[in-house]
Chain A
Amino acid sequence: MQKDMIVASSLCVRFAQQTVLDKVNFNVGQGEVFALLGGNGAGKSTTLKTFLGTIAPLSGTATVMGMSVSKDIDSIRQKVAYLPESVMLYGHLTGIENIKYFLSLADIEKSAPDIEQALMRVALQKSAWCRPMSNYSKGMRQKTAIALALLREAPVLFLDEPTSGLDPNAIDEFNRLIATLAADGATVFMVTHDVYGACQVAHRIGLLDNGKIVGMFERKDQAHIDTEEVHAAFSARSQQ
């Protein structure tokens, strides 16, 4: 049985008088790619921020690797990697310098060959490694951030709208990379409103609407989740 790495159990979040998450339940197993899909204001980012410990839930529990976000957030943060929608890192540093710096902040020492190997694994072209990051495209910055996550040996990755702003080739490349990471045992939790992208890469998709999980889709025997089925459910919710 797959070990549950991320679990939301009756998770409720309220801002002022507005309920943003209403008894949200899901679990993500080890090596699984889980996409939380929803329109604007559905509560995707709030769910992500709750797991990152920047928003406290009103009730319910959020656990990562068996640790409660409310109680063990510092330990959780040591083990997870987070890629924001716009990965900036440091423009004045090169890709390698960025990785070295962030590793040093996490008190992790890696050799130069290890770093090079991680960069090769995420397919960041070698000519970019020693260029200032201010010259990187979004896709290149994402690859660098994933290389960092690899080097940190983070078993859980949280991704916020990872494919927004990427060209189709970059999206395919990114999806392949995520699939490889999952195959190697990493657990990936992403929030997105990109139906097609989510169906391509995720093992399961949770459809979030008005703070509630209103649908759960998973791969059956196919290589991908059925895009039309998800799209139809997503559109139906959007029109309500």
Chain B
Amino acid sequence: MSVIQQVTRDEWRFWHRTKLAATIIIIGTLLTLVSGVVNTLEMQHASHEREHLQQSAQAQFLEQPDRHPHRMVHYGHYVFRTPSALSIIEPGVDAFTGTSIFLEGHKQNTAMFADQRQASGMTRFSSLTPSFLLQVLVPLFIILIGYASVTREKEAGTLNIMITQGINVWHLLLGKYFALVSSGLLMLLPLIVAAVWASINGESALITSSFVAGYILYILVWCGIVLAVSAVNQKNSASFAILVSLWIVLCILLPRIGSSSAAAIAPSPSKLEADFAVKAELRKLGDGHDASDPAFEQLKKNLLTKYNVDKVEDLPINFRGTVAQYSENKLTEILNQFAEKRMQEELEQAYIARQFGWLTPTTAIRSFSMLIAGTSLETHHRFLREAEKLRFDFVQSLNKVHQDNLSYEADANRNKNADATKAARVDAANWQVLSEFSFKPDTAQTRLLRSAIYALQLLFWCGLIVLLLRFAVRRIS
């Protein structure tokens, strides 16, 4: 057995006999395991519920009786997004944004944040999810296990004996490093199991292995930090105090400073401000429910000229339906402009916050983890865009039914009496306008490309650790 293996074996023997480290390893592993299991069960339950609700929403829409087509526009429809398989470990922004949207005419009911200023806040603390445990608590467990790795040898004088016995300090540190890494990997086991489970459930093997590799790099970085600090300090107490301070700075303060800085550097309007701005623009469009609104005068003229008639009653199409189509088109353009602007602002904030990955490995793994898992802001934005396209298509299909299948006269007189109301209905067969909504995760290539820079951040941290350990070896030697 090599010296490195001997040191690793003795480190484990020490942890086993001193109980404390063994207890921390067991607690850490159990905690991530339980969190993974609970999250998986919750996700499965949510998935069943989502499937049921999706079918039920579709069936309810299709089961609607003969009625005025515009009532169906307002009846609306729900779409649900199936989260990525890896979201059992990394829920990412889904926890903040939700995974369903109610689609209806004239509105973009986004699943966006309650307050847009929170956009970059998505990189902060979250609930006790497996990813939170792995990113924030596992480093603390590694500190508790390894803060005295080298300092206890110094305090006991055994390091002196080893050095004067001619032990290679690199071998000693590597032995301790591998022991610490193996304890960290033990806490990573639930993640590895979940990744295998995700692969079985259709996730790309390249993605799941990259996901696991990212977390392994993160564990390597933290083990390196812990060992280097322990190696350059003389006392257990000093090593512990420095490491806990580092944990607070790297895992809590810097990610928070990152998101706050992002909000300060790239400010976005509050929801209220944004809503006012949208309302102001929409007012200029006119009311699409009122065909006599002056805003549609030009449309009317163009149609009368096109069909060579004098009044809207003589048009071969229902002018009210045309107005609804025209109005929805214009309104959607404006809503999309605002939505795109808002998404750009959010992305800009997220990008700034993610650059803090050069300052803290926690932000680096968080960005990498969300992007690889497909639970990032980018994926959510794509969901919003696809859902909006579906909304627009189905509303315009109903408006077309309104224009082509319902006469102007019946439509205009629909509120005169009960018979007129009945006459202003179209056949329920026209409700077959819903396209099937199936949100596919981004391809493995897209996710890998997006996350490449954050993988680079993790590698940068690994490089830094090598330098730190070299420094520690020189100090000890």
Binding site for B on A (CB under 8 A): 52-54, 74, 76-78, 80-82, 84, 86-93, 101-102, 104-107, 145, 152, 158
Known: A93-B13, A101-B10, A106-B165. A82 touches B160 (CB 8 A): yes
B156: contacting residue among A78, A82, A88, CB under 8 A? A88
- The reply to whether A92 and B161 form a contact with Cβ atoms under 8 Å apart is no
CB B12 to nearest CB in A, in angstroms, measures: 11
Which residues does chain B contribute within 8 Å of A74, judged by CB atoms?
166
Of the listed stretches B1-9, B117-125, B328-336, name the one at the interface; the rest are far from the partner chain.
Answer: B1-9
Residue of B nearest to A74 (CB): B166
Interface string of B150-189 (1 = CB under 8 A from A): 0000001110111111110000000000000000000000
Known: A90-B156, A105-B6. A84 touches B161 (CB 8 A): yes
CB A33 to nearest CB in B, in angstroms, measures: 19
Q: Is B18's CB within 8 Å of the partner chain A?
A: yes
- The reply to whether A104 and B160 form a contact with Cβ atoms under 8 Å apart is no
A selection of 13 A-B contacts at a CB cut-off of 8 Å is A74-B166, A80-B164, A82-B164, A84-B160, A86-B157, A88-B156, A88-B157, A88-B158, A92-B17, A101-B10, A102-B165, A105-B162, A106-B166
Residue of B nearest to A81 (CB): B165
CB B200 to nearest CB in A, in angstroms, measures: 42
CB B14 to nearest CB in A, in angstroms, measures: 5
A78: contacting residue among B10, B162, B166, CB under 8 A? B166
* A88–B158 alpha-carbon span in the complex (Å): 7
Which residues does chain B contribute within 8 Å of A84, judged by CB atoms?
157, 160-161
B165: contacting residue among A77, A87, A88, A91, CB under 8 A? A77
* A91–B1 alpha-carbon span in the complex (Å): 23
Residue of B nearest to A149 (CB): B165
Residue of A nearest to B5 (CB): A104
- The reply to whether A105 and B160 form a contact with Cβ atoms under 8 Å apart is no
Which residues does chain B contribute within 8 Å of A101, judged by CB atoms?
6, 10
* A86–B166 alpha-carbon span in the complex (Å): 19
5 residue pairs, one from A and one from B, having the closest CB atoms: A77-B166, A82-B164, A88-B156, A92-B17, A78-B166
CB B152 to nearest CB in A, in angstroms, measures: 10
- The reply to whether B3 and A82 form a contact with Cβ atoms under 8 Å apart is no
CB A72 to nearest CB in B, in angstroms, measures: 11
Known: A86-B157, A92-B17. A105 touches B3 (CB 8 A): yes
